[in-house]
Structure 1
Amino acid sequence: MNFRPSGAVDRLVAAALVLAFALAGWKISQRTPASPLTVPLSGPVAPVAKPPSQQLSPDGRFRFDAQFVSSSPGQAVHAASMVELNDGRLRAVWFSGSREGAGDVTIQTAVMDPASLRWGAESTLFDRNKLQQGLWRYVKKLGNPVIARAPDGALWLWMVNVSLGGWAGSSITWARSADEGFTWSAPHRLVTSPFLNISTLVKAAPVNFENGETGLPVYHEFVTKFGEVLRINSAGQVIDKVRIPGSRGSLQPVVLVSASEKAQIYMRAGNATALMASHTTDAGKTWAPTQVTAWPNPDSAVGGAVTNAGTQWLALNPAPRNREVLALLQTAAGGSFDGATPWLVESSANPQVRTSLTEYERLLSQELKARGAREDEVQAYVASARRQLCGDQSCSQEFSYPYLLQSRDGYLHLVYTWHRTRIKHVRLDPLQNLQAAQAAPGHAPASK
């Protein structure tokens, strides 16, 4: 016989649902007031003298230093982030393996000496086995790592990992270091939801609140994409989260703080149309509905930083269809990037046309050799790039997934994925006088 609930059971279920919604509403209304955001120190810091080895940007407007960070030939590398250490060195982290999503992917790190600008040999921080042992659960693959300074002076490291399915089934694991990244605590799961705790990913730098809490921008990919900001206490626990309204289809949010109560957020467009933006005027307790900016976004990540002088910077791929152009934008605190003239960092000769296989190999080999790679290393790097970015006859050049920070000496540092085979580091003086722009490939229009 078929069981049919009685009217009394129906009323009981309805009452339970009403009570659950009422409790949820009460919990939201009882949120503690948002602590003011930590604002970068005001006043410019003069950079140290520039070494003579600087190169000219593709558009001839500025100069910068460039070095490769990663040092393992033949690997697929991606999603770098970095932090300044107490002694002035930089520590970068990224993921590396035979391909993105493979079981052999590891979280790698290297440290740069600011005097020589040279990066040391890379080493492994975490792999699948280490996470499995620490979490007591199966780990299928690893992804984006983000390293940052905690308000108490320690280092945070957040990592994306998946136990079942693809990236939509991912969660975030974190660890802390009290010795500048030489050793790390056991890994812990970041609990972002009581239901399954999946589909939360990280890519961008956190922001800090004056009360010692951390705001971590994250995003979701299960069923639909959207961005939100987690509020994390000093013990690594999520105590609140706020979804960015109207951010459906957007991901990988970057937060730029302009005042103690004000910040802007910029997001990658999963629908491959334009860079998306929102803002807050109450220290992140609420965010304005997401708006479209004037900059195209080819479904690619952006990076951001706020300098000590209050200038806001974005790093992005400003072309509508691919990642063959990488540029920087700047604006005043809380200003708009619409109409900004890009600082062109790297570009293919013709971003609208795929590069022939022969020319692609020549271009990569030329730069790798110029930066000290041996012939066997060059062959391994090129083979890795071909495997990921080439068809039978042509290739797509790629300069993607940028990450920005300013060091205490005033320099702006950019790390990004170079042809999916190396992590590249660019250092520039953000206060340098710009030259008149020359004709350059991939110069995107400043507005629609």
Structure 2
Amino acid sequence: MKSLLPLLVLAGSSLALAANPPALLTHEFIYEQAPYPSCHASTIVESAQGGLIAAWFGGTAEKNPDVGIWVSHFDRAKHAWLPGVEVANGVQANGKRHPTWNPVLFQPRGNAPLMLFYKVGPSPQTWWGEVRTSTDGGKTWSAARRLPDGIYGPIKNKPVQLADGTILSPTSDETDEKPSKWRVYFERSTDGGATWAKTPFLNDGIAVGAIQPSILFHDSIGGAKLQAIGRTRQGKVFTVSSDNAGKTWGAMSLLDGLQNPNSGTDAVTLKDGRHLIVYNPVPKGRTPLKVAVSRDGQQWKDVITLEDQPGEYSYPAVIQTSDGRVHITYTWKRQRVRHAVIDPAKL
């Protein structure tokens, strides 16, 4: 398959790339202007048709009722992202509108429809999950389908598909109990997302308050030996492992080498077996934003700095496309969505 993006630096990013390492091929904004002032929680996917698609939530500000889910496609002929289009919002049958949150794009294998998961509701304690599907690479979308009560879909980061076709969705919840609990669990589907079953919680939510996991593979892509890592309230990224394809999990602990300022991360296992995480390596704040790699999921090394100036650079999403390149999207100062392309062979 031909590369999704040219090696050329896209307009507006040449100066930013001048001092960056050779592995960072492209560093651009998906849009310069939008009909809303604030955005967050981007997601990116390669569709079955080979197209690159990004989504995020945008509106006046997070939690406001006018926040909707926006989608943009990368036009390979123009070498540019197309203007974003709102494809989902929280308007209810009675006319009341709720905010939407944390879209997650996921492309199952084969000819299965592209899936867009997102949350609807006033807050993370009261939201519910919805999903829309597309059979034409995200050009058009089905009506929203509300997920069953207690099933939220992927909470921030992408699901994975195991060798037997099972979809494993990384999920978590945030209670308003006192003390509040942040707990990780997973949702499994063996019928392409038609029905879901929940695992037990992996942590008590207090000793380690953890949410928003990403799933890594430790034998082969789609295999049974899994590791989940993600955000905590304890100043470091959590880790937890499974030897049976996510049916059961071991004890959760913290990774000494990966700081976390209670901010979202995302990670992926590369085709060459290495693992890659995008994260904020500080105890407080959401800058800088860096990329680190690991052979074993335990010892990590920073390899690229995506942002290091004052401001918020957060909530990354990362995938590896069929051409081998790594694509990252993230929030840039809550004003725009930025996209980076990395050649992992040059890391």
- The one-character-per-residue Cα deviations of 1:414-441 (angstroms, maximum 9, x if unpaired) are 0000010000000111111x5xxxxxxx
2:271 corresponds in structure 1 to 308
How many residues are treated as equivalent by the alignment? 329
Which segment drifts farther, 233-242 or 277-286? 233-242
1:172 aligns with 2:120: no
Deviates more, 1:66-75 or 1:209-218: 66-75
1:52–1:217 CA distance, 2 compared to 1 (3 A): closer
Q: SS in structure 2 opposite 1:169?
A: coil
Q: Which residue of 1 aligns with 2:338?
A: 424
Once the two structures are TM-superposed, the CA of residue 314 in structure 1 deviates from its matched residue by 0.5
The SS at the match of 2:125 is: helix
- Using the TM superposition, give the Cα deviation of residue 64 of structure 1 relative to its aligned residue in structure 2, in angstroms: 2.6
Which deviations, in whole Å up to 9, do the C-alpha atoms of 1:2-25 show, x marking residues without a partner? Answer: xxxxxxxxxxxxxxxxxxxxxxxx
Q: Which moved more, 1:201-210 or 1:96-105?
A: 201-210
C-alpha contact 1:177 1:184 (8 A) present in aligned 2: yes
Out of 66, 72, 87, which is 1:110 matched to?
A: 72
Instruction: Verify: 1:276 aligned to 2:238, yes or no.
Output: yes
Mapped contact 2:115–2:131 kept (Cα < 8 A): yes
Q: Decide which moves more: 59-68 or 69-78.
A: 59-68
Cα offset, 1:46, TM superposition: 9.4
Deviation at 1:201, TM superposition (A): 6.7
2:44 maps to 1:82: yes
For normalisation by structure 1, the TM-score amounts to 0.68
Unaligned runs of 5+ in 1: 1-44, 349-395, 435-448
- In structure 2, what is the Cα distance between the partners aligned to 1:46 and 1:122? 22
The 5 A counterparts of 1:224-263 are: 224-232=181-189, 233-246=191-204, 248=206, 249-259=209-219, 260-263=223-226
Letter in 1 for 2:299: D
Residue 339 of structure 1 deviates from its aligned partner by: 4.3
Cα pair distance change 1:139/1:317, threshold 3 Å = same
Distance 1:119 1:338, change over 3 A: same
Q: Is the 8 A contact 1:58 1:345 kept in 2?
A: no
Q: Are 2:178 and 1:218 equivalent residues in the alignment?
A: no
Are the aligned partners of 2:293 and 2:300 in contact in 1 as well (CA < 8 Å)?
Answer: no
Contact 2:24–2:341 under 8 Å retained in 1: no
**Which residue identity lines up with residue 107 of structure 2 in the other structure?**
R
Aligned partner (choices 293, 317, 325) of residue 330 of structure 1: 293
Which letter does structure 1 place at the counterpart of 2:128? Answer: S
After TM superposition, the structure 1 = structure 2 runs for residues 31-430 of structure 1, keeping only pairs within 5 Å, are 50-51=7-8, 56=17, 60=21, 62-70=23-31, 71-72=33-34, 74-114=36-76, 116-129=78-91, 132-133=92-93, 139-152=97-110, 153-162=112-121, 165-193=122-150, 202-222=155-175, 223=177, 224-232=181-189, 233-246=191-204, 248=206, 249-259=209-219, 260-269=223-232, 271-294=233-256, 295-332=258-295, 335-348=296-309, 397-430=311-344
2:143 maps to a residue whose letter is: A
Deviation at 1:341, TM superposition (A): 3.1
User: Would you say the 8 A contact 1:398–1:417 is kept in 2?
Assistant: yes
> Deviation of residue 258 (structure 1)?
2.4
Q: Secondary structure at the match of 2:70?
A: strand
Q: Deviations over 1:249-293 (max 9, x none)?
A: 111111112231111101201x25111111111110111111111
Q: Tell me the alpha carbon deviations over residues 342-367 of structure 1, each in whole angstroms, 9 at most, x when there is no partner.
A: 4211111xxxxxxxxxxxxxxxxxxx
| Runs of 4+ with deviation above 3 angstroms | 45-49, 52-63, 114-117, 136-139, 245-248
> Using the alignment, how far apart are the partners of 1:166 and 1:49 within structure 2?
40
Report which of the two has the higher share of helix: 1
Change (3 A) 1:218 1:57: farther
> Quick check: which one's strand share is greater?
2
SS of corresponding position for 1:431: helix
Conserved? CA contact 2:113–2:135, under 8 Å: yes
Q: Tell me by how many angstroms 1:240 deviates.
A: 3.6
- Mapped partners of 1:213, 1:102: distance in 2: 35
Higher alpha-carbon Rg: 1
- Contact preservation (8 Å) 1:80, 1:94: yes
- 1:383 aligns with none
When the two chains are superposed, the root-mean-square deviation of aligned CA atoms in Å is 2.6
TM-score normalised by the chain length of structure 2 = 0.86
Q: Which amino acid aligns with 1:324?
A: T
